[in-house]
Amino acid sequence: MTVVGYAPGAYDLFHIGHLNILKHAADHCDHLIAGVVSDEMLLQSKGRLPVVPLAERMEIVRNLRFVDQVHAEVVPDKLDTWRVQPFDVIFKGDDWRGTPKGEKLERDFQAVGVRVHYFPYTMHTSSTLLRKALAAIDAEEPVGRVARSLTN
């Protein structure tokens, strides 16, 4: 039997943590679907738009050799995603383990026979940290000013 895995994420400002979760997910299934969360869902869940638009994030993830398929995640409930794009195991970072959202995910998926598999969260690299670093750089040398100086 083919085991279908699903690894949802924003995959914004793609970094080593994203690469690791997808690579490890591929090792634990026969067919890996990367669920790339839409701009609208990120705005709804995190209160901000991604830096990189959905189509570009999907293209980046699609071109990883261990990702078999990419799915645009356009609904907030992972169970609704499963109904449209079925899978046998869902992969999440272990920062979800033991949290209310992680426990809900486990309950919801246990009811339909889907296993939740956690991977170590990459603490030293995150899109949030990258955003903060970029904002700090921009505060010192605003991008508009850099762009103008390049054209002069």
Looking at residue 136, what is its pLDDT?
64
The 10s digit of each residue's pLDDT in 39-61 is 999 999 888 899 899 999 999 99
For 141, other C-beta atoms within 10 Å of its C-beta total 10
For residue 148, pLDDT beyond 90: no
Of 49-63, 66-80, 120-134, give the lowest mean pLDDT range: 120-134
Read off the pLDDT band of 130 (50, 70, 90). low
Q: Look at the domain 4-121 and name its fold.
A: Rossmann fold (3.40.50)
Q: Kindly provide the b/e burial profile for residues 46-71, where b requires at least 16 CB atoms within 10 angstroms of the residue's own CB.
A: eeeebebebeebbebbeebeebbebb
Entry pTM: 0.82
